[in-house]
Amino acid sequence: MGMDVYGLTAKTEKGNYFRNNVWWWRPLAFFIEETYPDIAIKCEDWHSNSGCGLGEADSMVLGKMIFNDIADGTVKRYQDARLIGLSELPREDCSLCGTTGMRTDEVGVEHGMPNKELPPEIAILVGRTHGTCNACNGIGSRENWELSYDFSVENVQEFAEFLMECGGFQIC
């Protein structure tokens, strides 16, 4: 799933279309809402494909603001702070195996997970040689789900370039 963002009156090819899958869009949208709240509020819903967006003037203003923040390092600092915050998140209990590290439900049994041999580095860690889970690799916990969402200065810049050329946009 992703967010397809269409330019309303694109001036160039770059302004016709911008797309992020959900793993990239969500952090981009949060960045915009947190960093530019006065303009972000004008888009009713950044997190759905319901056709919300901004008009041409607001798109241009937002694009210029983003370019200024890229130039002065604000976006890079946001990216770095986000990475530090993500690195400090605790692991999550694995819900597929109930934190046992061994998936014994119907799907797990069907795929031989209770009998699968563990790699030596996992076996040493968990104190057994067999039994795994496809979600946590047999450990019983997994990385925090937030680590699945990506953010980069480059992605923000691509969106800013789109904003400058789109003539307003809709998120569909």
pLDDT of 160 higher than 90: yes
106 shares a domain with 131 = yes
CA distance readout (Å), 150 to 40, 76, 91, 93, 134: 20, 14, 18, 22, 22
100 shares a domain with 48 = no
The mean of the pLDDT values for the chain is 97
pLDDT of 1 higher than 80: no
Domain count, the chain: 2
Q: Are 168 and 162 in contact (CB under 8 A)?
A: no
CA distance readout (Å), 80 to 13, 39, 85: 31, 24, 9
Range of the domain at 45: 2-87+147-171
Q: Please give the average per-residue pLDDT across 107-118, as a whole number.
A: 97
Per-residue model confidence as pLDDT tens digits over 60-74: 999 999 999 999 999
The pTM assigned to this predicted structure is: 0.84
22 shares a domain with 50 = yes
Per-residue model confidence as pLDDT tens digits over 24-51: 999 999 999 999 999 999 999 999 999 9
Cα–Cα distance, 28 to 66 (Å, whole number) = 11
Q: Which residues contact 51 (CB under 8 A, 6 or more apart)?
A: 170, 171, 172
127 shares a domain with 55 = no
27 shares a domain with 96 = no
Q: Please give the average per-residue pLDDT across 140-165, as a whole number.
A: 96
8 shares a domain with 56 = yes
State the maximum Cα–Cα separation within the chain, in Å, rounded to a whole number: 62
Both tokens of 55, joined, read 């008009």
124 shares a domain with 80 = no
Q: Please give the average per-residue pLDDT across 109-130, as a whole number.
A: 96
Residues facing residue 171 across a β-bridge: 5
Strands of the sheet with 53-54, listed across from one edge: 17-21, 2-7, 169-171, 53-54
